[in-house]
Every structure is written in C-alpha cells, then in structure tokens.
C-alpha cells in the first residue's frame, strides 16, 4: 500500500522547503570544488556560460506556468472548483509543450551566435565554439525540465510541500552525481579534454529532470483522491477564461523571471567590458567573472534558499487567502515573511560576512578576489531574499503588473549603474568589480521600497510594525557577533590548514554561534513570532528539549 502525503501549513511548508533548499545549496556549492579541479577555470567558463543561457530559455519555455499553476490550483481549490482546476492543468501542459519545443529549437539554431557573445577580442575564438557545443547539449533538458516544473507547481498548489521538497533533493542529487561522475570518467579515466567533460556533465541536467519527473508522477498517481474530487454542481470555467487567467499570471511571471536572467547575462558582459578597459588580463577577468557570477552565487544559496522556500510556499497560501478576501490572513503571512527573513537569513548572512575568507576557502580554495566579492554578494542576498517573496505575494494577489514594472525599473537602474560604479571604485582605489555588487544592492533597495508602498496600498500592510521584530533580535545578533569575534582571536582559523580542517572549525564556530543566537531569540519570543508555535515545539521535541521546556 502506497504511503499517502498530507498538506502543510505556510510555516511548515516554508520550513520543509527551506531544509531542502539549504541541503541543495550546500551540495551545489561543494560540488564546484572537485568539478573545477577536473575541468579548470577555462572549462568552467564554458560550462557556466552555457548554463546561464539555458536558465534564460528555461524561463521562456516554462513561461511562469509552474508558479501560475500553484496559484490557480490553490485558488480553484479554495472555491471548490475542482474540475476547472484539472482543466487548467491540462491546458498548462499543452502550452508548456509548445514553448519547450520552441526554446529547444532556438538554442539549437542560434547556439553559435550566443556562444560568441560570451567572448571578447582578447579571448581565444575556440572558447566561443566550445560554448556553442555546450549550449546545444544542455538544450535537450528543455524537453523535460518544464514538464517536471509544471507538475511540481501543481502539487504545491495542493499544499503538498513534503513531496515538492523531496523532489528538489532528488533533482539536485541526480544532477550533481551525473556531473561529477561524467566529468571524472571522461577527463580522469578516459583522458579526454576538459571540454568533453563539460559536455558530458551538462547531460546531468536532463537526467535529473527525467528522474524527478518520474518521482512526481508516481506520487501524483498514488494520491489521486487529493486532486480529483466529485463536484457535480460545479460550473466548469470555459477554456477561454482559463487561458486568460493562465496568460495573465504567466506573462508577468515570465517577464520578471526572464528580466532577471537577462540581467545576469548583461552583468557578466558589463564586468567583462569594464575589466578589459581597465587593463585586467584575460585570465584574471575569467576568474573574477566566474567568482562574481557563479561561485559566490552558490555560497549565496545558503541565504537565498530561504526566499526560494518562501516563494514556493507563499504563492498558493496567499492566492487562497486573497480569493476568499481574507486580507487579515494575507497580512499575517506577509508579517511572517519579514520575521523569518530577519530571524533566519540575517544572522546566517552576518556569519558568512564575518568568516568570508574561511567560507570561500572551504568551497573554492584561497583567492584574492573571492572573500571581497562574497561579502558584498551576501549583503545583496539578504535584501533580494525579501523582494523575491514580496514579488510572488503581489503576483498571487493579481498585482503582477506592478511587480513587472518595479522589476524592470530595478534592472534598468542596475544595468545603468554597473559601469559607472565600477569605474568610480577604480578611481577611488577600490577593487572595481565590487562596483557591480554595490549597483545591485542599491537597485534592490529601490525595488523593496516600491513593493512595500504597494503592499500598504493593496492590503494596508503595516511594514513598520512588521519590521519591529528587529528589536527582538538585536541582542542575539550582537551576542553572536561578539562570540564569533572572540573565537577568531582565541581559536583562529588560518588558511594554511587543510580545507577539511577549516570546515570542521567553521562547524564549531557556526554551532556555538547558532546555539547562543537561537537560545536568546527563543527567550525574546522572536522564534515564536517567525514560526508557528507548533513548528517551534516540534523542532524542540526533535532536539530533545521539548519536554524540558514544557516543565520549565
């Protein structure tokens, strides 16, 4: 007899998905070290360039339908329109099929033109040819990943976040296993070139999509009663209305998502242009771009995994509340978002900033540029963690147009400031590549201000009151910072140690710092405000402290 799954509350679903994304983030960052050792910086530049353009076309091929499907499924379930929900899912599947095939063909046809976009005059033209081959290989994943994402969004719309979070882990583990095994066998065992290893590694994206899709399909079939319900009196929404609803959601989601992917591509090109003009050598430029665009992004996943978790969990919950005109429920969840970010993301980011050289060393080895870029990138991640969730919340309340406009404003502002900030930093005697990070931080703050004002107008969201939880975590943050600084003096972590020993020392730092911080947060009531009391009690029981706390 197959095991049934159950629905999750917002706090529980955020917790479940956060754990999954955290594990994914750590695994995703750690695999870079052996992978980079096998293919080198040149090979990684090819890999990351192909993966960046794949991400953009994945946004195009999915067209925001998975997120839209989670919102629509939740909305129809709230209104007991079960047949309309299933009809919407089938329509979404047909739309995705068309976009997937189109995106695949575009990458196959224009791979060479895209490949040469990623090189400058100072680079070997063969790099462009290698990126071309890599793009054509990774494009095959566009024929399966969008369907997997749609099915995951459908399950999230039914608040089945246990299955969704497990599927995230299955996808990541499969992808990385194929990447590392494929590169190792190709380069180390068969003695092929690193570029051949890159092509084999990129097959991991397609393999992970196939395995995860099979898992989600099995889980869906084993729990049919959660999806298909009798509703004989239901008036089924007509096809035109459903398509219009999907399109309205999807156009906005796609524009936002694709705009961000296009900025990542533009940002890579702008850094390339600026550093070339400032006299940096070709090899230096590749290393800096790899660090800024790929390496620190992987470490940053430790912070932004929280926003990924909340983005996935908040969409169906907000959509359901808003459909029932439960504006108090919407406000409560928005306040909880702010609380979770401040209580969880801020201390995690602060710890990484304080120990940036050691953290970067563990993942990617010693670097002149890495720790500097990491500190700026992590500060940006904390802000983007909040803006990403607020964007999804506004889309769930049918205010996607504002989200689209705000996102485009922020991206245009970011692009406009990139080169001036990099040249300004160089003139001030500061590392010029950090100017791009500051540009991102400023533009993200502008986006946050626009979002907060809109939420106040739409649902009277009292953001000032929501941010008062910071008062509760000031003392815990200060205590954690003091403890880490003291440990750096008493038990320093020199980078002459092996990376494994440095990692063990970081676990000691993190364990002691986290224990002090969360204990003080619990006493101040910050944990209970961020998560439901039931979730906090459940965690304490798992840690063996529930009974003790109840007795106290």
DSSP state of 237: P
CA distance 59 to 188: 34
> 270: which residues sit within 8 A by CB, 6+ positions away?
415, 418, 419, 422, 436
Residue corresponding to tokens 């524009």: 255
Looking at residue 182, its pLDDT comes to: 86
Question: Cα torsion at 212, 173, 302, 447 (round to 10°)?
Answer: -30
CA distance 25 to 297: 10
CA distance 337 to 260: 22
DSSP state of 143: G
Q: Tens of pLDDT along the chain (552 residues)?
A: 345 444 445 555 555 566 666 666 666 666 777 888 888 877 888 888 888 888 878 776 665 677 777 777 777 776 777 777 778 788 888 888 888 899 899 889 988 888 777 665 556 677 778 888 888 998 899 899 888 888 887 777 666 666 777 787 888 888 888 888 888 898 888 888 888 888 888 888 888 889 988 988 887 776 655 555 555 566 777 778 777 777 776 766 666 666 666 677 777 788 888 888 888 888 888 888 888 877 787 777 766 665 556 555 666 667 667 767 777 877 777 787 777 778 888 888 899 899 999 988 888 888 888 899 999 888 888 888 788 778 877 877 777 778 888 888 888 898 899 899 999 999 999 999 899 889 989 998 999 999 888 888 888 887 777 777 788 888 999 999 999 999 999 988 888 888 889 988 998 998 899 889 988 888 887 777 766 655 555 555 555 554 444 444
DSSP state of 345: I
This prediction has a pTM of 0.65
CB 450 within 8 A of CB 406: yes
**H and E: helices and strands count for the chain:** 23, 0
Report long-range pairs for 106-109 (Cβ below 8 Å, ≥24 apart): 106/57, 107/53, 107/54, 107/57, 107/135, 107/136, 107/138, 107/139, 107/142, 108/136, 108/139
Nearest CA to 124 among 195, 35, 184?
195
Q: What is the 3 state secondary structure string of 449-512?
A: HHHHHHHHHHHCCCHHHHCCHHHHHHHHHHHHHHHHHHHHHHCCCCCCCCHHHHHHHHHHHHHH
Looking at residue 551, its pLDDT comes to: 44
Looking at residue 424, its pLDDT comes to: 93
């Amino acid at each position: 007899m197959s095991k049934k799954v159950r629905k999750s509350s917002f706090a529980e679903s955020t917790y479940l998905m956060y754990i999954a994304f955290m594990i994914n983030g750590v695994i995703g960052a750690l695999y870079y070290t052996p992978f980079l050792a096998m293919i080198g910086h040149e090979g990684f530049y090819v890999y990351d360039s192909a993966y960046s353009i794949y991400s953009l076309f994945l946004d195009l091929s999915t067209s925001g339908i998975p997120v839209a499907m989670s919102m629509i499924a939740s909305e129809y379930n709230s209104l007991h329109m079960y047949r309309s929900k299933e009809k919407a899912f089938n329509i979404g599947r047909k739309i995705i099929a068309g976009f997937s095939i189109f995106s695949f063909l575009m990458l196959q046809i224009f791979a060479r033109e895209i490949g040469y976009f990623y090189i400058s005059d100072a680079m070997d033209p063969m790099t462009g040819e290698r990126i071309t081959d890599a793009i054509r290989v990774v494009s095959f994943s566009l024929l399966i990943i969008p369907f997997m994402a749609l099915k995951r969004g459908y399950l999230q719309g039914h608040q089945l976040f246990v299955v969704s979070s497990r599927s995230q882990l299955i996808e990541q583990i499969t992808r990385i296993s194929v990447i590392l095994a494929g590169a190792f066998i190709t380069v180390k065992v068969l003695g092929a070139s690193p570029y051949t290893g890159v092509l084999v590694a990129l097959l991991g994206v397609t393999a992970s999509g196939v395995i995860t899709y099979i898992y989600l399909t099995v889980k869906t079939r084993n729990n049919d009663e959660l999806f298909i319900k009798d509703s004989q009196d239901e008036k089924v929404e007509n096809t035109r209305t459903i398509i219009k609803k999907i399109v309205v959601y999807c156009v906005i989601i796609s524009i936002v998502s694709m705009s961000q992917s296009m900025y990542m591509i533009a940002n890579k090109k702008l850094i390339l242009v600026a550093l070339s003009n400032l006299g940096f050598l070709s090899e230096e430029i590749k290393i800096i771009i790899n660090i800024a665009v790929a390496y620190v992004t992987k470490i940053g996943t430790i912070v932004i995994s929280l926003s990924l978790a909340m983005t996935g969990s908040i969409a169906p919950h907000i959509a359901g509340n808003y459909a029932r005109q439960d504006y108090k429920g919407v406000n409560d969840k928005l306040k909880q978002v702010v609380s979770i970010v401040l209580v969880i993301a801020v201390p995690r980011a602060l710890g990484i900033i304080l120990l940036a050289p050691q953290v970067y060393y563990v993942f990617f080895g010693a670097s002149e540029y890495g720790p500097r870029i990491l500190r700026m990138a992590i500060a940006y991640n904390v802000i983007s963690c909040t803006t990403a969730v607020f964007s999804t919340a506004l889309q769930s309340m049918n205010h996607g147009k504002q989200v689209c406009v705000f996102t485009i404003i922020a991206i245009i502002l970011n692009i406009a400031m990139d080169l001036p900030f990099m040249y300004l930093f160089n003139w001030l005697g500061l590392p010029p590549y950090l100017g791009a990070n500051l540009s991102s931080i400023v533009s993200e703050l502008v986006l946050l201000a626009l979002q907060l004002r809109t939420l106040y107008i739409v649902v009277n969201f009292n953001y000032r009151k929501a941010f008062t939880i910071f008062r509760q975590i000031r003392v815990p943050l200060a205590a954690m910072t003091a403890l880490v600084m003291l440990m750096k003096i008493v038990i320093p972590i020199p980078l002459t140690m092996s990376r494994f020993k440095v990692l063990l020392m970081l676990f000691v730092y993190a364990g002691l710092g986290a224990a002090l911080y969360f204990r003080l947060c619990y006493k101040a009531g910050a944990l209970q405000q961020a998560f439901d009391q039931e979730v906090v009690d459940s965690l304490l029981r798992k840690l063996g402290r529930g009974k003790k706390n109840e007795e106290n």
